[in-house]
C-alpha cells in the first residue's frame, strides 16, 4: 500500500513544477502580447492617416469608446445577477455520473481525485476556494468543487491600442490530480469526468473604426506521469469565440455554460509503478477597445463551479 507521506511528497514536487511552468508561460505570453501591441500600433498609425485624409476627428472615436464603456458597465449590472444567483448543488451531476455505461466495464479501477492546483496571475480569479494559498496558486481544501474565472475589459479607442502586456485577470487554470498504481502492464484506457456550471459574457462591436475585438477559450488538457516522465498532453477545445474587428462580426452574448464532459487518454503503463493523471482546465480571455468584454465565470455565488469526478481506468491489452 502506498505511503501517504511519500505520495504527498511527490505531489508537492509536481505541484511546484506546475507553478513554475505557469509562471514561465505567463512571461512568454506577455512578450507575445508586446509584439502584438507593436503591430497594433503600426495599424493605428495607418488608420490615423486614413482618418485625417477623410477629415475625421479621432477625438470623436475616443468619446464614442468612452460611451461604449459606460454602456458596458450598465449592461453587466443588468445581466450578471440572473447568471450568478442560482442554486446548483452538484448532486444531480453525481447521479448522472453514476449511470454512465462506462462503469459497466469489468475489472476497471475507479480513481478518486487526490488534489487540485489552481493558478491565476490575479488572486481575485481564484476567490471562493478555502485552502493553502501561495503566489500565484491555491491548493483548495475541497478539490472536488473549485471556483475559477477569467475576464478582460477593453479600454479606450480600440484602433489606438498601444503595446501593453495582457491584464492579469485574463487567465486562470485548474489542474485536477489523480493517483493510482497499475496492477498489470499493458495498454490502459483512462477517462476523466468533469462537470461545469458557469456563464460567459461576450461583447464587441464590429465596424471599421471601432476596432473592438474579443477572444475567449476554454481548453482541457489531459496528461499522464510515470517513472519521472510526462507523456504527450492531449488537448480538447471546449469553447472558443473570436469576434469584432473589421470582418469577424459583432457579438453580444450572455450564455449559461452547464455541461458534463469526459476526456480520454490511452497509454501503455508499467505494472506497480505509481501513476499521476492530470486534467487541466485552462481559461483565456482578451478584449480590445472600450465597450468590449470577455468573461468566463465558474466562480460567482454558489451555483457556478467546476466539479471534477473520478477517473475510470481499465486495461485493454
* Predicted local distance difference test score (pLDDT) of residue 250: 74
Q: Which of 295, 312, 305, 313 is nearest to 143 (CA)?
A: 305
> How far apart are alpha carbons 241 and 216 in whole angstroms?
5
Strand pairing class (234-244; 213-226): antiparallel
Q: 251: how many CB neighbours lie within 10 A of its CB?
A: 21
R_g of the chain, CA atoms, integer Å = 22
> How far apart are alpha carbons 164 and 185 in whole angstroms?
51
* Predicted local distance difference test score (pLDDT) of residue 305: 96
C-alpha separations of 11 from 18, 173, 174, 261, 311 in Å: 10, 18, 15, 25, 17
Sites in the chain below the pLDDT cut of 50: 162-164, 246
Strand pairing class (148-153; 131-133): unpaired
> How far apart are alpha carbons 122 and 167 in whole angstroms?
9
pTM for the predicted model, two decimal places: 0.85
The domain segmentation of the chain, as residue ranges, is 4-315
> How far apart are alpha carbons 158 and 206 in whole angstroms?
11
* Predicted local distance difference test score (pLDDT) of residue 162: 46
* Predicted local distance difference test score (pLDDT) of residue 152: 92
The alpha carbon of residue 256 and the mean position of all alpha carbons in its chain are separated, in whole angstroms, by 15
> How far apart are alpha carbons 210 and 245 in whole angstroms?
8
> How far apart are alpha carbons 179 and 10 in whole angstroms?
11
* Predicted local distance difference test score (pLDDT) of residue 64: 65
Could you read off the pLDDT of 222-269 as tens digits, one per residue? 999 999 999 999 999 999 887 755 455 677 889 999 999 999 999 999
Amino acid at each position: 500500500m502506498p505511503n501517504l507521506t511519500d505520495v504527498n511528497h511527490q505531489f508537492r514536487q509536481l505541484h511546484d513544477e506546475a507553478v513554475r511552468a505557469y509562471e514561465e508561460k505567463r512571461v512568454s505570453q506577455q512578450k507575445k502580447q508586446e509584439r502584438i501591441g507593436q503591430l497594433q500600433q503600426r495599424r493605428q498609425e495607418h488608420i490615423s492617416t486614413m482618418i485625417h485624409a477623410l477629415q475625421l476627428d479621432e477625438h470623436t472615436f475616443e468619446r464614442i469608446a468612452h460611451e461604449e464603456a459606460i454602456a458596458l458597465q450598465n449592461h453587466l449590472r443588468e445581466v450578471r445577477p440572473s447568471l450568478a444567483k442560482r442554486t446548483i448543488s452538484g448532486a444531480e451531476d453525481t447521479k448522472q455520473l453514476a449511470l454512465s455505461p462506462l462503469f459497466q466495464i469489468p475489472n476497471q479501477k475507479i480513481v478518486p481525485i487526490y488534489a487540485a492546483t489552481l493558478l491565476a496571475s490575479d488572486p481575485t480569479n481564484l476567490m471562493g476556494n478555502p485552502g493553502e494559498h501561495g503566489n500565484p496558486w491555491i491548493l483548495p481544501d475541497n478539490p472536488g468543487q473549485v471556483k475559477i474565472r477569467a475576464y478582460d475589459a477593453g479600454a479606450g479607442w480600440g484602433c489606438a491600442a498601444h503595446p501593453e502586456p495582457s491584464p492579469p485577470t485574463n487567465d486562470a487554470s485548474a489542474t485536477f490530480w489523480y493517483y493510482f498504481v497499475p496492477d498489470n502492464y499493458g495498454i490502459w484506457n483512462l477517462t476523466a469526468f468533469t462537470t461545469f456550471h458557469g456563464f460567459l459574457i461576450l461583447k464587441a462591436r464590429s465596424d471599421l473604426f471601432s476596432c473592438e475585438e474579443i477572444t475567449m477559450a476554454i481548453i482541457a488538457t489531459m496528461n499522464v506521469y510515470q517513472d519521472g516522465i510526462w507523456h504527450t498532453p492531449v488537448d480538447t477545445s471546449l469553447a472558443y469565440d473570436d469576434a469584432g474587428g473589421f470582418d469577424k462580426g459583432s457579438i453580444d452574448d450572455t450564455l449559461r455554460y452547464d455541461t458534463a464532459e469526459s476526456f480520454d487518454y490511452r497509454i501503455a503503463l508499467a505494472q506497480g509503478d505509481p501513476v499521476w493523471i492530470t486534467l487541466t482546465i485552462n481559461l483565456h480571455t482578451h478584449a480590445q477597445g472600450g465597450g468590449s468584454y470577455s468573461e468566463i465565470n465558474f466562480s460567482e455565488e454558489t451555483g457556478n463551479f467546476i466539479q471534477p469526478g473520478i477517473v475510470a481506468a481499465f486495461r485493454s491489452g
